[in-house]
Amino acid sequence: MIALHGYGRMDMTSYADVALRRGLVTWYQLDAIDESQYNQLLSPYAPYRSIISIYLWKISKEIPPKKQTP
């Protein structure tokens, strides 16, 4: 958030951010996501991946993830 609001960096994302991964898994209704899938799914949003990150953080907090079946 500091990079986006403080420095105006509009194209930052991090696979290490659990909330972003959870948001993508929820949004695309996946069971799991690896780093290559993460990068592939976010590539269309370049150079504004910081903006989509805000939405993914919101999704990860407010929408329950898909329930996994055994």
Contacts of 3 (CB under 8 A, 6+ apart): 9, 12, 50
Structure confidence by residue, pLDDT tens digits, 35-55: 999 999 999 999 888 889 989
Pick 11 or 4 by higher pLDDT: 11
Q: Where are the alpha helices (DSSP H) in the chain?
A: 18-27, 35-42, 49-62
Q: What is the pLDDT of residue 9?
A: 63
